[in-house]
Structure 1
């Protein structure tokens, strides 16, 4: 009899322990749901968080998930859905993915180190480094940081028919224009002139040496130099856009006609008709010319050569490389290596590259 009593007592303790554990689990489950409800007293609907779902299913597992009579915060089918194994990939979070912090840091670095750069200019530099980001995203990053860059381009549009002609003949179109820079001489400040030729298709630029006297003979000689420069690059020019400046004489037009190039004079007071040359000249004045006082033609020629080397070799072209999302062969994006900064002309010109070593 005593042996039977001991066996009965063992079973009694086991039953009591199991029942108590189950009873305690029910109490814990109820208490946890009450805490959830208390934290949402003002909410019309309870949206459970991942950590809450995990805790509810953990407590429910101690009751073999038989908790229909104590489940208060969600429906039974919702709870059962938590227990079913997930099929397929994890659902994507709604909305646009956040910009990586490393990219945000680079945007701010470029903007703070180069106060004259706009969003498109920063975008082009990032594309060289293998980082794809939109100009609008860059603008948003800078605005959140309280940094407002200068606009990249002004307003104004050429006539639609002229725009169509230019876009249809980019590979055979060139444009030319003069720009001046005051140079300090023994006679005081004297304007020095530089003649620019730009090929619209490739954005390659020929810049003449500076002169104080851009007479007809000088313009003709620079035209010959530009023609040979186009030929050496394998560029076939068929049309040359220029304004109505009197420096473009009859002999100037006759020379280009003999080279099978048709000169196209822009309408009166229509600078946007020669927008590529105007935009290039505006760019060089903003980015480097306005930062220097020149005391000789040699100094002006030197800084022009430094800029031109940078323009052809390191600077992304916003109309080509960014707008078309295709970089030139010498602008192949690189994603490996430490990002370093290179400067020219005493820091007036800056560009970035990855050190592969």
Structure 2
């Protein structure tokens, strides 16, 4: 094909100069924090909004807050709370990835810019540009929200907090060689681990079960 185009005096199209978006995210994963909203419908018909953050490098999930009125001021306050909670954990993070939702304001961005982070905004109507966050939201829906009848904001916070603990401390992740973002250290076999006995912890009244070896 190159020879045909060249003989006709047509320059073949040049190769892409830079990396694809997927390659960029993979290369910069350790430094990216992604944000996104998803909605929860309660048993009484109220629609709630939850703001979540996901660290690409560790896959650590942060459910920042739940509200029926996701204003710009509320969203900015959740960002401040997150920055305080993570503390030095923000040090390796270099970029915040978010969409163009109007709930994100200049004040929201300023919280992360104060930590020397750049703001990356995805293209309009392009959820795949924030695919990791979209995926964890799908996990929240299919593993929790589709199976629990949420009553109100307080109940939603309780349920999502329980799943966040499970997700970060116990749920295996393929991108981390089947380890959770915050793996518990199992006792060494030499210190008396009984590999024949498993202990079960019920999460969300048995919706999720966690297992560990008995010491």
Q: Does 1:330 align with 2:189?
A: no
Gaps of 5+ in 1: 1-158
Where does 1:107-118 land on structure 2 (aligned, <5 Å)?
none
Q: Does 1:343 align with 2:207?
A: no
Q: CA deviation at 1:340?
A: 3.7
**Pairs aligned (count):** 193
Q: CA deviation at 1:235?
A: 4.2
Name the residue aligned to 2:112.
256
| Structure 2 CA distance for partners of 1:235 and 1:304, relative to 1, 3 Å | farther
Q: CA deviation at 1:234?
A: 5.6
Higher strand proportion (structure 1 or 2): 2
The one of 180, 191, 201 equivalent to 2:39 is 180
| Structure 2 CA distance for partners of 1:175 and 1:339, relative to 1, 3 Å | same
- Of 162-171 and 251-260, more deviation after overlay is shown by 251-260
Deviation string 1:165-201 (CA, Å, 9 cap, x unpaired) is 11121221110001111124xxx41111111111111
Higher helix proportion (structure 1 or 2): 1
The one of 165, 175, 198 equivalent to 2:24 is 165
Q: CA deviation at 1:331?
A: 5.6
Deviation string 1:105-161 (CA, Å, 9 cap, x unpaired) is xxxxxxxxxxxxxxxxxxxxxxxxxxxxxxxxxxxxxxxxxxxxxxxxxxxxxx961
Q: CA RMSD in A?
A: 2.5
Superposed structure 1 runs of 4+ greater than 4 Å apart: 325-329, 331-335
C-alpha distance in structure 2 between counterparts of 1:182 and 1:347, whole Å = 22
Name the residue aligned to 1:241.
97
- Determine if contact 2:172/2:180 at 8 Å carries over to the other structure: no
Q: If the length of structure 2 is used for normalisation, what is the TM-score?
A: 0.80
- Determine if contact 1:242/1:266 at 8 Å carries over to the other structure: yes
Query: Over alpha carbons, which structure has the higher Rg?
Result: 1
Gaps of 5+ in 2: 1-17
Q: Secondary structure at the match of 1:283?
A: helix
The one of 114, 118, 132 equivalent to 1:276 is 132
Name the residue aligned to 2:214.
355
Deviation string 1:26-72 (CA, Å, 9 cap, x unpaired) is xxxxxxxxxxxxxxxxxxxxxxxxxxxxxxxxxxxxxxxxxxxxxxx
Q: If the length of structure 1 is used for normalisation, what is the TM-score?
A: 0.50
- Determine if contact 1:177/1:197 at 8 Å carries over to the other structure: yes
C-alpha distance in structure 2 between counterparts of 1:257 and 1:315, whole Å = 31
The one of 167, 185, 192 equivalent to 1:311 is 167
| Structure 2 CA distance for partners of 1:326 and 1:277, relative to 1, 3 Å | closer
